Structure 1
Amino acid sequence: MNSEEEFYDAETGGCIYKLDDILFTHIVQRSSYKRFRVNVINKLLSINDSIHLFFAAFTQELSKITMPIVLNEPLSFLQRMSEYMEHTHLIHKACTLSDSIDRMQVVAAFAVSSVASQWDRTGKPFNPLLGETYELTREDEGYRLISEQVSHHPPISAFHAQSLKQEFEFHGSIYPKLKFWGKSVEAEPKGTMTLELLKRKEAFTWTNPLCCVHNIIMGKLWIEQYGTVEIVNHHTGDRCVLNFKPCGMFGKELHKVEGYIQDKSKRKRRVLYGKWTECMYSVAPKVYEANKKKAEKGDAKKNKPQSAGKQETEDMPGVQETVSVITGSALLWRITPRPAHSEEMYNFTGFTITLNELEPGMERLLAPTDCRLRPDIRAMENGDLDTASVEKDRLEEKQRAARKECSKDEEEWSTRWFRLGTNPHTGAQDWLYTGGYFDRNYTDCPNLY
């Protein structure tokens, strides 16, 4: 069987490792939050099966492995992308500020906040089918969003959010590149985020940090974000460099973010610090440096030689103390507390819990490709894992058959709402929204489900 006939819906080539038959021991409990029903799943993996999973992943790209559905959360990756909009109030605030450095501060806080919902989220979202869409309209927050799975090999998801009052546009595309490191999986969200403040005629671009899930074989799963994020204001020349710090040997830097803003003359104007799981602050550079020197002197007095012991770097670090606020700092953003019993709902935020809701009459407005209509995701949300697994397999097989038919007829897939073009601000290739989705003409949409 060739690579065109046997593939998984994330990458081209190679044979599939079907892991649904691996012996996972799991406990399923049902709980409810309003109408939202999910499962609490405790997964135990035997040693032999751990070795099987390790060598399967080692000999093939991880994205070619079909994972058991118990590892999923009842959301499509398109819905996961829409979580960038949870703190949209920061964009609205940026639109009101007259100073460009002040605007950059708030945009930087928004960039950090857009990954905050991933904290303690170890469930894998469903891979979108080619042509799958997701629509989110929030009149209370003043925006609407449309996303589409625009490529299958490699898997690329594109989104476009726009203000209902023509104040901003926020768009981008993501190609999640996975790497397997033995005990952990690293996800590089390749793609550019672009935020346009229309009335200011400003455009900001950046890329998201790397995300790593630890202890995927044994132990408690935990997540960290790390890497450098550079935000550019293409109109003023201002730049913000944010360093998402890796955990380190003793977990001292876990979740920390530090950076600075410089103007077009490369003069440092503000220092930003905080945690992507908690909050972000801004302070004058001189105040920050003075505080840093004071802290270093204090640490030098306290520190004493310690005996070297074995360090389990893959173990989840203990609970870290909250951010130490420097006198004179300004709060830019603080995370919204999660709802009660969030741990029993895949650690979803209050915003995330609403993403799968189908209000009365909504089905008549949605495109037939909207992921809220996927039977496998809906079954999993309702607690029926057996049906969810069967439906997931059916949809993947249907997609393979459609791909094979297109190949036989020498047809190429045509995206519906996005096209591959050039980002006018970076000059790089990007998936751009072509418009028209909200005209509600869905006659050309494919039959995915």
Structure 2
Amino acid sequence: MSSANHGEEKHRTRLPAAQFCGSEFSMWSVLKQGIGTELSKITMPVVFNEPLSFLQRVTEYLEYAWLLDKACAEEDPVDRMQYVMAFAVSGLASNWERLGKPFNPLLGETYELRRDGYRIVAEQVCHHPPVSAFHAEADQWFFHGSIQPRLKFWGKSVEIQPKGTLTLELLRHGEAYTWSNVNCCVHNLISGQLWMEQYGTMEILNHVTGHKGVLTFKTGGGGGAARDLHRVEGFICDKDKRRMRFLYGRWTELLCSTDVTSYEEYKAANPAMFGREDLRKKSGEESRGGSASGLSSRKMFSKFNSITSSFRISIDPEAAFEPEEAAVHEEDEDGRGQIPRTSSCYSVEIPNSNTLWEVMPRPEQSSQYYHFTSFALGLNEKNPEALEDLAPTDSRLRPDIRLLEEGDIEGASNEKTRLEEKQRDTRKTRKKKYKDEWKSRWFEQGTNAFTHHSDWLYSGRYWDRNYTDLEQIF
């Protein structure tokens, strides 16, 4: 199953209908239920959604799967690690400007994708809490994991915590790598221009050689730290904690690598670029709101009651971040929300660097289609090849997602409600008849052989195409 044909497959370049904009409705009536809680427990209007299931969104980790082939081809474990780290960062790049919420998968929903020499299957294996499991395979590697996304509303922002472990196995080298993704935050949800950031520390461990890659995703919220928005940097260390390589870049654009000596010389010549961690941490906490902002629940309610009950969903593509501008905060017209403007985090490329990964440009009309990447635009294609031998539980067959993609907001909303009610009724019947003993078809709970923690593991057989006795969830 070779991946050598990267870039040769052709897929659609636009959706059937452009993203719906300009709807006015009461945001507060929906969100007031969710301050400090998980939004997965709240029914959200379909206008908040993008026309993809979360299972389809999971497959976007593999947009740059060719990086795994590069890792497999390297003989040095440090070189393999740097491409694995580039792959981990690249899997987050499609999140940029994607402010629509993917549809929550129904219990037992699946999604499969065969592209560029690999294949992946994902299944919704648990509903409360929501857990999505996936397994991807190619000739030279396996990539698998389970994700339990948690969304919390903090009054002026939404925080997305992608709980779960990702595991990569490089078969030729007999190596396994594990890591977890960092958090994401969408700001100015109620007022001002929406913007997002990803922040935290990502640790990637090679369980065979002991090498560890540690990447810090800088926060861009508040004060001078705005210059760090999207900035990523870190080191590869060996099992004795000696620094072997320095990696840097921006998760929205690229990741580069250089030797430690070149990094240290550059750092000495450009001290202003480094050494401000306390300021970044403090400003990031203030930016994300919630308890860190010092707002009490009473003050938060008072603030919301003073805001108009109608909220216009619109994303201005001209108000996007401008990489060449100096780092400042710019307020929107009524002064309620601040939009960080970013500059390059390095005035010049660090000497002796090589670019490991660079983001693919998005389609020209991406802003009209939910800011989808070219990869994302093809995930819900309904063509004979995509539908061949497809499981009846596949996300492509969901009517609510299909109707939203086609621009039928009312129809999508009605179908979304119908499917949610059908799922609740099925669960009640199952609980009454079988004591709610639902079992996932393609995954089972077990122990991750490398982390020794509980995980959802692929049980095989999906590609045998035996779909008898599958529940009719749509």
Matched, 1:126 2:103: yes
Alignment of 1:331-350 (within 5 A): 331-350=355-374
Give, in whole Å, the separation in 1 of the partners of 2:274 and 2:247.
22
Partner-residue secondary structure (3-state), 1:446: coil
Give, in whole Å, the separation in 1 of the partners of 2:99 and 2:178.
28
Give, in whole Å, the separation in 2 of the partners of 1:237 and 1:298.
30
Task: Indicate which of 429, 441, 449 corresponds to 1:416.
Answer: 441
Give, in whole Å, the separation in 1 of the partners of 2:23 and 2:342.
24
Task: Indicate which of 294, 301, 317 corresponds to 2:340.
Answer: 317
- Asked if the contact 2:442–2:459 (Cα under 8 Å) also holds between the matched residues in 1, the reply is yes
Match of 1:172 in 2: 145
Task: Indicate which of 141, 148, 159 corresponds to 1:186.
Answer: 159
Letter in 2 for 1:233: N
Task: Indicate which of 425, 440, 443 corresponds to 2:465.
Answer: 440
Match of 2:309 in 1: none
Matched, 1:107 2:131: no
Distance 1:361 1:228, change over 3 A: closer
Matched, 1:74 2:99: no
Match of 1:242 in 2: 215
Partner-residue secondary structure (3-state), 1:367: coil
Partner-residue secondary structure (3-state), 1:431: strand
Give, in whole Å, the separation in 2 of the partners of 1:199 and 1:332.
21
Alignment of 1:392-407 (within 5 A): 392-407=416-431
- Asked if the contact 2:55–2:105 (Cα under 8 Å) also holds between the matched residues in 1, the reply is yes
Give, in whole Å, the separation in 1 of the partners of 2:439 and 2:392.
17
Task: Indicate which of 386, 397, 400 corresponds to 1:373.
Answer: 397
Give, in whole Å, the separation in 2 of the partners of 1:367 and 1:403.
21
Matched, 1:425 2:450: yes
Letter in 1 for 2:111: Y
Partner-residue secondary structure (3-state), 1:346: coil
Match of 2:187 in 1: 214
Displacement after TM superposition at 1:50 (Å): 4.5
Task: Indicate which of 231, 250, 274 corresponds to 2:204.
Answer: 231
Give, in whole Å, the separation in 1 of the partners of 2:75 and 2:190.
51
Give, in whole Å, the separation in 2 of the partners of 1:333 and 1:280.
5
Alignment of 1:380-399 (within 5 A): 380-399=404-423
* Alpha-carbon displacement from aligned partner over 1:294-334 (angstroms, at most 9, x marks no partner): 1127999xxxxxxxx99989522124337541111111110
Distance 1:249 1:54, change over 3 A: same
Match of 2:286 in 1: none
Give, in whole Å, the separation in 2 of the partners of 1:196 and 1:79.
22
Displacement after TM superposition at 1:274 (Å): 0.3
Give, in whole Å, the separation in 2 of the partners of 1:124 and 1:442.
29
Partner-residue secondary structure (3-state), 1:331: strand
Displacement after TM superposition at 1:293 (Å): 1.6
* Alpha-carbon displacement from aligned partner over 1:31-51 (angstroms, at most 9, x marks no partner): xx65622333335667xx454
Letter in 2 for 1:358: K
Match of 2:259 in 1: 284
Letter in 1 for 2:101: K
Displacement after TM superposition at 1:411 (Å): 3.6
Task: Count residues with an aligned counterpart.
Answer: 404
Partner-residue secondary structure (3-state), 2:411: helix
Match of 2:295 in 1: none
Matched, 1:89 2:66: yes
Structure with more contact order per residue of length (Cα contacts < 8 Å, sep ≥ 6): 2
Structure 1-normalised TM-score? Answer: 0.86
Task: Indicate which of 6, 12, 16 corresponds to 1:37.
Answer: 16
Give, in whole Å, the separation in 2 of the partners of 1:118 and 1:173.
18
Distance 1:297 1:278, change over 3 A: closer
Letter in 2 for 1:246: T
Give, in whole Å, the separation in 1 of the partners of 2:437 and 2:81.
42
Give, in whole Å, the separation in 2 of the partners of 1:274 and 1:218.
30
Partner-residue secondary structure (3-state), 1:402: helix
Task: Indicate which of 205, 218, 236 corresponds to 2:178.
Answer: 205
Distance 1:144 1:59, change over 3 A: closer
Partner-residue secondary structure (3-state), 1:147: strand
Runs of 4+ in 1 over 6 A off after TM superposition: 297-300, 309-313
* Alpha-carbon displacement from aligned partner over 1:212-260 (angstroms, at most 9, x marks no partner): 1111112222111000000000000000100001113231110000100
Displacement after TM superposition at 1:262 (Å): 0.3
Partner-residue secondary structure (3-state), 1:445: coil
Give, in whole Å, the separation in 1 of the partners of 2:273 and 2:230.
23
* Alpha-carbon displacement from aligned partner over 1:357-398 (angstroms, at most 9, x marks no partner): 122254340000000000111111111111111100000000
Match of 2:313 in 1: none
* C-alpha RMSD of matched pairs (Å): 2.2
Give, in whole Å, the separation in 2 of the partners of 1:288 and 1:355.
40
Letter in 2 for 1:204: Y
Identity %: 53
Give, in whole Å, the separation in 1 of the partners of 2:183 and 2:272.
33
Give, in whole Å, the separation in 2 of the partners of 1:359 and 1:427.
41
- Asked if the contact 1:45–1:218 (Cα under 8 Å) also holds between the matched residues in 2, the reply is no
- Asked if the contact 2:38–2:150 (Cα under 8 Å) also holds between the matched residues in 1, the reply is no
Give, in whole Å, the separation in 1 of the partners of 2:374 and 2:191.
29
Structure 2-normalised TM-score? Answer: 0.81
Letter in 1 for 2:144: H
Distance 1:101 1:75, change over 3 A: same
- Asked if the contact 1:130–1:149 (Cα under 8 Å) also holds between the matched residues in 2, the reply is yes
Letter in 2 for 1:394: R
